[in-house]
Amino acid sequence: MSEELTQTPRHLLVCERSSFQDEKNRLSTQVEMLHFNYKVSVLLPECSSAPSQLDSVLNSFTSFYLIKNLPVHELLDQHFLQTAVFQGCVYALSYRTRIDEDNCVALMPNGRLLLSLDKDSFELLGFEGKPSRFNHRVKSRFVVSVDLTSSCMAPGGSGYLRLVSGLKSRLNLQMDFLLLHHPGGGASLQSLLSRYASSEHRPTISQCRLSDLSCPVLESCDPSDAHSLLEWLGAVDADISWDSSCDFVSTLVCPEPKMTLSSALRVSVCGFLTPQDIQRLISELRCYLEQSRLGSWVSLTVHGFVDSPVSWGANEHGVLKGGENLYTLLMHHDGTYHLHLATGAYDSCPP
């Protein structure tokens, strides 16, 4: 058996317990630091249908755009910078590019443009960068990170012109992009969208009612055994059955102590999701917990894009093994919560 198969891929898991009533809790900041999200999953115990207020929040998630064959230098267009980047938050991520093989690009809501490039592309671009932290013995990937809001990158300045020239005349990258603007929406992006083939998309919502679900007694769960809890939540989200009668070594077992939920509701939203929409969803789930007489907890799991060039904040993200880039929030009726932040091999520690 190869050594690759005998070793479990390294990952990082940060666990934190706090309360919404604690003014020093960092939840809002931590949610905002995961910029590029493709899925959020919610589990509501002892619930058979989504409350109307929750449905309303889910259906109001921001629309996003898929724009085809966009030259990367268009993200530095002066009109686009003035009407979108400098007027709110732009989220742009290259679509169907693989971080371990292809050139990948992200425009973050703080105006920072990040290009993860192979060696040949980096040398053609001719702009300052640094070796990727995921290089091994040979420097084969480089990262160019530029703050488009800084004075040295002002349109017309030497730094701006050098980068535009590199992207136009030497490298000339073209990619499909996922794109959205908060809070302006499509109106702020219209000048860019009108020049290229693009389509508007709504996040897709799916719901599934579960019955007789084996569930750990969360009030009694050992916080140090977070892996078992997250494994259970992941299995529920992936619709993996728990068969205690099976004698396979790899059979999943619900953590002890456990109970049986007569009903539960699993809700998922997939698309290009903003941290702002996830914040609103968390607020609505808090209201649901305060008003509900049945459920004493709810869970929410947010998955970042596996091939995003960044994970939390501006930390470089790499796939190599796994590509984890997610967090799970377990909220309790009394206002306390457990937050579990996970990332994959070789990434920086989550905040």
pLDDT tens by residue, 131-180: 998 876 678 899 999 999 999 999 999 999 999 999 999 999 999 999 99
Considering the domain architecture, whether residues 49 and 26 belong to the same structural domain is answered as yes
Give dist(CA 286, CA 335) in Å, integer. Answer: 8
Same domain assignment for residues 54 and 72: no
Longest dimension (CA), the chain: 70
Q: Are residues 115 and 186 in the same domain?
A: yes
pTM of the model: 0.92
Q: Which two tokens stand for residue 61?
A: 């998630």
Last residue of a domain, one of 201, 218, 243: 201
Whether 210 and 324 share a structural domain: yes
Choosing from 201, 226, 241, the residue where a domain stops is: 201
Q: How many domains does the chain fold into?
A: 2
Amino acid at 78: Q
Same domain (yes/no): 160, 214: no
| Judgement on whether residues 178 and 224 belong to the same structural domain of the protein | no
Residue ranges of the chain whose pLDDT lies below 50? 1-2, 5, 220
The predicted structure's pLDDT at residue 69: 97
Q: Which of 300, 285, 328, 346 is nearest to 136 (CA)?
A: 346
Q: Are 220 and 146 part of one and the same domain?
A: no
Is residue 227 located within the same domain as residue 270?
yes
- 337 near 218, Cβ under 8 Å? no
Q: What pLDDT does 226 receive?
A: 84
CA distance to 256, 287, 334, 339, per residue, from 223 (Å): 13, 25, 17, 11
Tell me, what's the pLDDT at 1? 45
Please tell me whether residues 183 and 123 are part of one structural domain: yes
Domain-embedded: residue 351? no
pLDDT for 37 equals 97
Pairing outcome for strands 112-118 and 130-131: unpaired
Residues 122 and 188 in one domain: yes
State which residues form the domain around 79.
Answer: 64-201
Please check whether residues 260 and 248 belong to one and the same domain.
yes
In-domain check, residue 134: yes
* Same domain (yes/no): 145, 110: yes
Q: Tell me what pLDDT residue 242 has.
A: 63
Going by C-alpha positions, the residue among 107, 133, 129, 101 that lies closest to residue 306 is 101
What pLDDT score does 34 carry?
95
Q: Is 348 among the domain residues?
A: no
- Residue 273 CB-half CA count within 13 A: 32
Amino acid 10: pLDDT: 64
Measured between alpha carbons, how far is 272 from 38 in angstroms, rounded to an integer? Answer: 5
Residues 97-140 have pLDDT tens digits of: 998 889 999 999 999 999 999 999 999 999 999 999 887 667 88
Residue 349 falls inside a structural domain: no
The owner of tokens 């629309």 is: 63
Query: Which of 201, 226, 252 is a domain's end point?
Result: 201
